[in-house]
Structure 1
Amino acid sequence: MFERESALDVYRQALPVIGISLLAGLFAGAILGSETMRDGIESVPGILVLLPAFLATRGGVYGSLGARLSSGLHQGVIEPRFTLDQRLSNAVVASFINGMAVSLFIAVVAFLVLWIGAGGGNLLQLVGIMAVAGLLSAVLMLSTLVTVVFVGYRRGINPDNIVGPLVTTLGDVFGVLFLLIAIYLVGVFV
């Protein structure tokens, strides 16, 4: 009987988040399919090369933070409050640094793929776009992830049930949106 109640509890907590993730994923797809995004993609060679890697790494980098937060909350070493806690600060800073480093690495690899395959590409432009998109997505993903996990935990929701869909959705929505913004911001300066 305990296993059935436990499974029902997991579904009760996860299904609303998965439903929201579905709607947000459709929103990200609408942004990606928009004429504005198509124009941005056409204006910057290499965006389609780096887009899948950029979106995938948002989930990997910030999913690790979600797992750390969840473990810390379950073990009682992190309190679900917004205070200057050394463990929380270290985890957030490490995720930020990893997210930015991976973003810049993706730009360099995309440039190399373009250079080897097509003999072209603009390294400065790709690095600029990934720096802006990486920074904007990092700030918003970190603040949203920590807030949702803490508020959910205080309301009795197990973070393990919501971190996966939350990080995947945030990574897709914020990644696509901020990539589009970065294309236009960097296009103004480069």
Structure 2
Amino acid sequence: MQGLINLIAESEAYNAYKNAMFSLIFDLGGIIPGILLYKLIIPFERSYRWIIYLYPAMLSVRGVINGIFTGRLSTGLHLGIVKANFKNNTEYFWNLYFSMMILCAFGGCFLGPLISLATGSDAVEVSAVAISSMVLSFFMVSGVTLVVAFTAFKKGYDPDYLVYPIMSTIADILVTLSYFLVIWLIFNNGVILSMFIIFILILLWIIYIIKT
């Protein structure tokens, strides 16, 4: 009987189950984005109805893009075409990274006019928030995704089981925070100044990436 228990404990199926259950614990944090939404963003929604319409659409698009990113990243780590470190990584990794960034920008370009049309809101204002939030959230989410994926891989865990379940919750939190930051900047400083500030932050990050 003890031998059977040891055999089960050492089996690949058991290890997969253990890794999956560990990562799914992070789903308990799914309530945090809702709390942040209520505390930080709902007060703005009372004056700008489109804010609450854009939020779930943006979460969905970001979730799809990050799902693609984590899947490709995990596969690349297994195949050896992605190195488990940020510096001196492969051409495949950088192509993947910047293609995801472009997808986020296109996602914002699509969501902005769509939500403004659906709500009858200012297209420039909504598009500025959508594009800025999507791109800013990409840098926040992708950074954490890389840390989780690289750390898990170096520790001997399978990133296929860990990265996406963990990041699905963390990404929602980071997207909510970036959304609030962009809204706060635009409503307190205007569209042009806020876009300039966000552009400078993104440019500095890209320069840092290129230098590494």
Structure 1 consecutive aligned stretches of length 4 or more whose deviation exceeds 4 Å: 1-4
Hey, what's the Cα distance between the residues in 1 that align with 2:36 and 2:183? Answer: 13
- Superposed CA deviations along residues 50-81 of structure 1, whole A, max 9, x for unmatched, are 21110011111011111111111111222212
Q: Which residue of 2 aligns with 1:117?
A: none
Selected match of 2:44 from 21, 40, 43 = 40
> Matched residue pairs, number?
183
1:122: how far off?
A: 1.0
> 5 Å matches for 1:1-40?
5-23=11-29, 25-34=30-39, 36-40=40-44
Contact 1:63 1:163 in 2 (8 A): no
Hey, what's the Cα distance between the residues in 1 that align with 2:116 and 2:16? Answer: 43
Hey, what's the Cα distance between the residues in 2 that align with 1:123 and 1:145? Answer: 32
Contact 1:103 1:134 in 2 (8 A): yes
CA RMSD after TM alignment: 1.9
1:167: how far off?
A: 3.1
**2:108 partner SS:** helix
What one-letter code is carried by the residue in structure 1 that aligns with 2:18?
R
- Superposed CA deviations along residues 114-156 of structure 1, whole A, max 9, x for unmatched, are 2xxxxx3111111121122112211011111111101100101
Q: Scaled by the length of structure 1, what TM-score is found?
A: 0.88
**2:49 partner SS:** coil
Q: 1:175 to 1:15 in 2, by over 3 A?
A: same
What one-letter code is carried by the residue in structure 1 that aligns with 2:76?
G
Contact 1:40 1:180 in 2 (8 A): no
**1:44 partner SS:** coil
Identity %: 24
What one-letter code is carried by the residue in structure 1 that aligns with 2:22?
P
1:2: how far off?
A: 6.8
Hey, what's the Cα distance between the residues in 2 that align with 1:176 and 1:17? Answer: 21
- Superposed CA deviations along residues 76-99 of structure 1, whole A, max 9, x for unmatched, are 222212223201100000001101
What one-letter code is carried by the residue in structure 1 that aligns with 2:78?
H
Q: 1:3 to 1:171 in 2, by over 3 A?
A: same
Q: Which residue of 1 aligns with 2:102?
A: 97
> 5 Å matches for 1:73-88?
73-82=77-86, 83-88=88-93
Higher Cα radius of gyration: 2
Q: Which residue of 2 aligns with 1:155?
A: 155
Q: Scaled by the length of structure 2, what TM-score is found?
A: 0.79
- Superposed CA deviations along residues 25-44 of structure 1, whole A, max 9, x for unmatched, are 2211111122x321112222
1:3: how far off?
A: 9.9
Unaligned segments of structure 1, at least 5 residues: 115-119
Hey, what's the Cα distance between the residues in 2 that align with 1:176 and 1:79? Answer: 30
Q: Which residue of 1 aligns with 2:194?
A: none
1:20: how far off?
A: 2.4
